[in-house]
Amino acid sequence: MAALEPTEDLLRLCRDANSHASASRQAWETGRRAMERRKTHSGPDGLRSPWRGRAFSSVVRLFGLGTRLVGAYERGKRNALNIRLVDVSLSFPDLPLSFDGYRILQLSDTHLDCLPELAPIAGRLLAGLEVDLMALTGDVHGHQRAPIVASTAPCRELLEGVRVSDRRLAVLGNHDPADMAGALEKLGFEVLLNSSTILKRGDEQIVVTGLDDVHRFFTPDAISALLEAPKGFRIALVHSAEVADHAAAAGYALYLSGHTHGGQICLPGGRPIVTHLRRCHHAGVGMWSEGNMIGYTSRGLGVGNVPLRFNCPGEVSVITLHRSFGA
């Protein structure tokens, strides 16, 4: 009987851990659903009135109507369907050597319920792609009243041809309801809800911390998750770049985000007119830095309620990590 005691202790520890994780998940769901019912939004700078979003939505609808009147609507839609596969190479002096060449597929702001025609196009673009990690940085959903399956079913379709050798990680965006977490788990994703996970190669590891949306559903748990993550080379997956300064201060090496759509409707040269960032405005699109941390904000795959893009093609990004060596 004595020989069975360590096994029983281990089972007890596993049960306790599972019970704690279940309680944490339930607490998150309760809090998230309560925030979804509220009229005000919450960001790192405090409570936010939703009037800006409503006003912007009205302006966008008028813009869409205007493009129809001047004959530019179809061109804008063709632009939205003309997505790019973007290769990004990043070097870090403290990247564990066994992760040199590690490839991350970043997919953000798919919103496939807004423009379902994107799914087969993106699927063909990604067919046969081989990566180590898939990182989905939020806003799978688009229309608030649309069923979740309208977003997740085409997402499953476009990802069928991608080969992922390591993990599939995801975080939620401001358009994603609490139920999206379970829906993504059914697609094979591990959804990080203000929590961290460890990626291992041999004796070396990197830490990935994922936050729930900080643009509308921010809670202090997000900052706690950044600060309490295991030490080492750390990557933050956050839908919006609005806590980039906190992540940099906590010593993160890389921050991957989306949310802005790169502006979606941009001036010539890709200059965004609106990014919807209330903080960290320098992180609106593409590569940027905050202290010693490197960040990348994806232009996103999809579109908002008006399915148009101008001077801002949608993208899927493959980010390759390299170990840099000093002279």
In angstroms, rounded to a whole number, what is the distance separating the alpha carbons of residues 243 and 66? 35
For 37-73, b/e burial (b = at least 16 CB within 10 A) is eeeebbbbeeebeeeeeeeeeeebeeebeebeeeebb
Beta bridge partner(s), residue 199: 206
* Residue 32 near residue 180, CB atoms below 8 Å: no
Residues ≥6 apart with Cβ < 8 Å to 117: 81
pTM: 0.93
Please give the DSSP secondary-structure letter assigned to residue 261: G
Distance CA 127, CA 22 (A): 36
How deeply is 314 buried, as exposed, middle or buried, from its count of CB atoms within 10 A (0-12, 13-18, 19+)? buried
Q: Tell me how far CA of residue 253 lies from CA of 32, 176, 259, in angstroms.
A: 28, 27, 20
pLDDT in tens, the chain (327 residues): 344 455 776 556 556 556 667 888 999 999 999 999 987 899 999 998 888 777 777 787 888 889 988 999 999 999 999 999 999 999 999 999 999 999 999 999 999 999 999 999 999 999 999 999 999 999 999 998 899 999 999 999 999 999 999 999 999 999 999 999 999 999 999 999 999 999 999 999 999 999 999 999 999 999 999 999 999 999 999 999 999 999 999 999 999 999 999 999 999 999 999 999 999 999 999 999 999 999 999 999 999 989 999 999 999 999 999 999 865
The residues, any chain, with a CB within 8 Å of residue 257's CB and separated by 6 or more, are: 108, 137, 237, 238, 239, 240, 241, 244, 283, 295, 296, 297, 298
225's tokens: 């998750």
Rounded Cα distance, 130 and 165, in Å: 8
Specify the DSSP class assigned to residue 197.
E
Look up the CATH number of domain 41-323: 3.60.21.10
